[in-house]
Amino acid sequence: MKNCLFCNINEVLIFENKYFYSVFDIHPVSPWHALIIPKRHLDSILNLSKEEWEYLQVAISGTIKNIEKTNFKKLYNNFLKKELSEKSVYFSKKMLSHIWINKKPDAYNIWNNDWDAAWRTINHLHIQIIPRYYGDIDNPIWWIRNIIPDLWNYK
């Protein structure tokens, strides 16, 4: 689509295959934060074809493999120089001073916010790859279950 940010992205690719490409998020919530984006403009993960689902799995593993080879100080210093968005300089500085900038992630959250009510801000399907580290938040077990107060603890 002509006005879609992800249909017109012009950044360094981490990974690419027939149906997907991945880039580093210019507003990361954690060092190594990346996005996997379908080349075809889609508004929902439910609209992927069977073949696209198979390529998505390859894109996820390929993206993580390539993320772990990246020099993040160099990446975020380049983001600083390019000023990719109004706030990208702020986010890049935060990543460069982050305590885990030189540490390989302990795990990853891999998710999709499907539609606006799920907090998606760009109306083009994209899969978040969020690196996680032991101790990065106080109570990581319950963070996603806390949508309705008092319903988070099912144990």
pLDDT tens, position by position, 84-133: 778 888 888 988 998 888 888 999 989 898 877 777 777 888 999 988 88
Give the pLDDT of residue 49: 97
Give the rounded percent of residues in the chain with a pLDDT score beyond 90: 32
Which CATH number fits the domain that encloses residue 57?
3.30.428.10
Residue 149 located in a structural domain: no
Residue 154 located in a structural domain: no
Give the pLDDT of residue 141: 63
Residue 140 located in a structural domain: no
Cβ-in-10-Å burial (0-12, 13-18, 19+) of 28 comes to buried
pLDDT at 48 over 80: yes
Strands of the sheet containing 13-16, edge to edge, are 13-16, 20-24, 34-38, 127-132, 107-112
pLDDT at 155 over 60: no
Number of domains making up the chain: 1
pLDDT at 147 over 60: no
Residue 56 located in a structural domain: yes
Query: 23: part of which helix (H) or strand (E)?
Result: strand 20-24
**Domain that residue 119 falls in:** 6-132
Report residue 143's pLDDT band, with 50, 70 and 90 as the boundaries. low
Q: What is the pTM of this model?
A: 0.84
Residue 72 located in a structural domain: yes
Give the pLDDT of residue 47: 94
Give the pLDDT of residue 38: 94
Report residue 20's pLDDT band, with 50, 70 and 90 as the boundaries. very high
Cβ-in-10-Å burial (0-12, 13-18, 19+) of 87 comes to exposed
Residue 95 located in a structural domain: yes
Give the pLDDT of residue 66: 93
